[in-house]
Structure 1
Amino acid sequence: MIKKIVIFCGLLFVANAGFAQNERVEDAVSLLTKLMISPDSLALDKLVLNKLSYGHSSGKVQNKQEFLHSLLSGESDFVDISLTDQAIIVQNNTALVRHTLTAKTNDKQVPGNVKLYILLIWSKEKAGWKLLGRQAVKVP
């Protein structure tokens, strides 16, 4: 009986640890979303890894400096972002996040709307979850 209780408690601990990891990844995604709408260079620098690979639905791929510049200069200007159908997979120190992004944009002062499928790749570092990769695909 005690063995069953110990096993049950262990399973509960593992389940809670997994839930907590997903919650922390969700927090990182939420922060990234807020920073894409209202860019802050210091906060973005802390959230994004130096080896970032940021893929757009057009096929364009940016490194960290290019991604930060596009947000901070207004070249990529998100007015509003809504995320739906989010799914998170955490494997050791890597998290994959998939969701649908619907946004109002004002890129280079031209209003627009986008709807994209997004894959985010996060790496768990000492300071928390950091963005390593992103790929967007246009919703057909």
Structure 2
Amino acid sequence: MIKKIIFAFSFLMVISISAQKKDDTQAVTEAAEKLRLAMVNGEKTELESLILPELTYGHSGGHVDDAKEFVEKLVSKKSDFVTIDITNQKVQIVGNTAIVRHHFYATTADLGKEPGDVTLDILLVWTKVKNDWKLLARQAVKVEKKK
């Protein structure tokens, strides 16, 4: 009888954990989409609501922005994304941390520069704060050329 109770309890725990990961995966996917839209729109309040003050935002060229610089560049259009398309997104949940990788293709119209196209691979690190997912880190790398 005790073995049946332990088995049933274990089974329910596995189902519960699995359901929680699915819910978290969906929530992170939604947060990443909100970030994509906020980066295109350059909306300060929305950008700030999605990131942590400790944000470290790495560019493919090597420069790293803090949270303030990240928001300021997008709001001022110093970094101006006309479009951002994301493909091949994979989300992995590890406790209260989410690792997101995706392919990033954007058209840009940065102040003082010719319009351009950007193709990158991105790593995002999100952390769960209360019930919300907040961006803690981002790193972009240039896409490896196929031989």
Question: Cα deviation per residue 1:1-54 (whole Å; 9 max; x = unaligned)?
Answer: 665544433322211111001001111100000000002111111111111100
Partner of 1:128: 132
1:98 aligns with 2:101: yes
Alignment counterpart, residue 35 of structure 1, candidates 32, 35, 38: 38
Partner of 1:69: 72
- Give the distance between the partners of 2:92 and 2:116, measured in 1 at CA: 31
Question: Cα deviation per residue 1:51-83 (whole Å; 9 max; x = unaligned)?
Answer: 110000010100011111110011111111111
Alignment counterpart, residue 26 of structure 1, candidates 29, 35, 48: 29
SS of residue matched to 1:69 = helix
Aligned residues: 140
Give the TM-score of the pair, scaled to structure 1. 0.92
SS of residue matched to 1:110 = coil
- Give the distance between the partners of 1:91 and 1:139, measured in 2 at CA: 26
Partner of 1:58: 61
Q: Which one has the largest radius of gyration? A: 2
- Give the distance between the partners of 1:133 and 1:3, measured in 2 at CA: 40
SS of residue matched to 1:75 = coil
- Give the distance between the partners of 1:2 and 1:77, measured in 2 at CA: 58
RMSD: 1.5
- Give the distance between the partners of 1:52 and 1:6, measured in 2 at CA: 40
Matched to 1:138, the amino acid is: K
List gaps (5 residues or longer) in structure 1.
Answer: none
In the TM superposition, what are the counterparts of 1:76-87 in structure 2 within 5 Å? 76-87=79-90
Alignment counterpart, residue 11 of structure 1, candidates 14, 17, 26: 14
Give the TM-score of the pair, scaled to structure 2. 0.88
List gaps (5 residues or longer) in structure 2.
Answer: none
Identity %: 40
